Amino acid sequence: MSGRTDSPDAPVPLARSHPAPGVVLELLKPITWFPPMWAFMCGAVSSGAPFGSTWHLAIAGIILAGPLVCGMSQAVNDWFDRHVDAINEPQRPIPSGRMPGRWGLYVAVAWTGVSLAWGAMLGFWGFLATLLGVALAWAYSAPPLRLKANGWWGNLACGLAYESLPWITAAAVLSAAAPSLEVLLIATLYGLSAHGIMTLNDFKAIEGDRRIGILSLPVQLGPERAARVACWFMGVPQVVVVALLVAMDAPVHAAIVALLLAGQSWAMARMLRDPKALAPWYNGTGVLMFVLGMLTCGFALRAGAVL
């Protein structure tokens, strides 16, 4: 007698035809929203606008920079990276099948539309910045440009989009005017510095990137050389920032950023002993000092120092 207890008439569970809300949120990667939200806050501080009358613009901009534009960029990236994620991170929503069919693409397109609509509510500067952010996000991940296929260009686009663009946008939106030269310079320098942080983030995907043909810097240069290049990218722009703060007659702020850079240099030296293993550790130590330096510069600019 057979031991089977099931019946041919028993119902068969059906695969989901659409993703659960929690899976959509996972696709948007909330953990990645912090850098552009922080950069927008630094830009709001640097604008010099009174917080009492502009707080609603600041909150709307932080939502735009993080959950909307950054979330959209993560959905776009996951859709076009679904093949490499199947190697590096098979548990991600799309390769795992929890985001069925073409829903990853549908979410990316829908979130693009929501971001543009939200950006339009922030006026000319807000909408212009949103257009640029959306264009960079698609150019970074999608063919034919797919900037991320080469670590030099992809990390540059990502650093400028995560750090420089939100900072400059906030300064423009809250002051209702084009940003000052010193805001543009410091925001751009921190975006260039973020190139190195993006390189360290590539260490976790070396195997899949190599197999798929993505030329991240760790793939092109090897982990050790890529880590040294990342350190130069992170350090040199901040040295220039310190010099600019001194020129702006903000010696106290310059000293704080210099001390934070010294702390980052210590963390870099430790990370270089084993870049592949210690890159995540650096992201929890050196990057913290990096973002504190950004905020310090925001207050220096708010104090009204001029070149």
pLDDT at 156: 96
Q: Note the pLDDT of residue 136.
A: 96
User: Which residue is listed with tokens 């959509």?
Assistant: 24
The label of the residue with tokens 């390189």 reads 199
**E strand or H helix at 221, and its extent?**
helix 217-221
Whether 15 has a pLDDT exceeding 80, the answer reads: no
The pLDDT-based confidence of 9 (bands split at 50, 70, 90) is low
Strand partners for 215: 150
Q: State the Cα torsion 253-257-258-259 to the nearest 10°.
A: 100
Rounded to an integer, what distance in angstroms lies between the CA atom of residue 152 and that of residue 154?
Answer: 6
**pLDDT for 305 beyond 80:** no
CB 139 within 8 A of CB 128: no
C-alpha distance from residue 110 to each of 69, 75, 78, 105, 146 (Å) = 11, 10, 15, 9, 20
Mean pLDDT highest for which of 86-95, 108-117, 209-218?
Answer: 108-117
Question: 285-295, pLDDT tens digit by residue?
Answer: 999 999 999 99
> For residue 160, what are its two tokens?
């400028």
Mean pLDDT for 195-216 is 90
Say how far apart CA 195 and CA 158 lie, in whole Å.
7
- CA-based nearest residue to 70, from 32, 99, 40: 32
Mean pLDDT over the full length of the chain:
92
d(CA 192, CA 257) in angstroms, rounded, equals 16
Q: What is the pLDDT of residue 56?
A: 94
How far, in Å, CA of 18 to CA of 79, rounded?
15
Bridge partners of 150? 215
Question: Which tokens sit at 137?
Answer: 């996000």
Task: Calculate mean pLDDT across residues 277-282.
Answer: 94
As a whole number, mean pLDDT of residues 22-45 equals 96
- pLDDT grade for 96, boundaries at 50, 70 and 90: very high
Cβ within 8 Å of residue 206, ≥6 positions away:
216, 218, 219, 223, 276
pLDDT at 87 over 80: yes
**pLDDT (tens digit per residue) in 115-156:** 999 999 999 999 999 999 999 999 999 999 999 999 999 999
Q: Which two tokens stand for residue 144?
A: 């034919």
pLDDT in tens, 163-190: 999 999 999 999 988 899 999 999 999 9
In angstroms, the CA 225 to CA 208 distance is 19
| Best CA proximity match to 214, nearest among 118, 131, 287, 146 | 146
Residue 13: per-residue pLDDT: 43
Write the pLDDT tens digit of every residue in 243-278: 999 999 999 999 999 999 999 999 999 999 999 899
Q: Domain 21-302 classified CATH 1.10.600?
A: yes
Q: Any long-range contacts for 272-275 (C-beta under 8 Å, 24+ apart)?
A: 272/224, 272/227, 272/228, 272/231, 275/200, 275/203, 275/223, 275/224, 275/226, 275/227
How confident is the model at residue 6, as a pLDDT? 44
Q: Which pLDDT belongs to residue 208?
A: 83
65: burial class by Cβ within 10 Å (0-12, 13-18, 19+)?
A: buried
Question: Of residues 235 and 306, which shows the higher confidence score?
Answer: 235
Residue 237 CB neighbours (<10 A)? 20
Q: Which amino acid is at 127?
A: F
The per-residue pLDDT for 303 is: 83
Q: For residue 304, is it left (φ>0), alpha (ψ between -120 and 50) or beta?
A: left
Q: How confident is the model at residue 111 (pLDDT cuts 50, 70, 90)?
A: very high
Tokens of 110: 């829908």
Cβ distance 143 to 158 under 8 Å? no
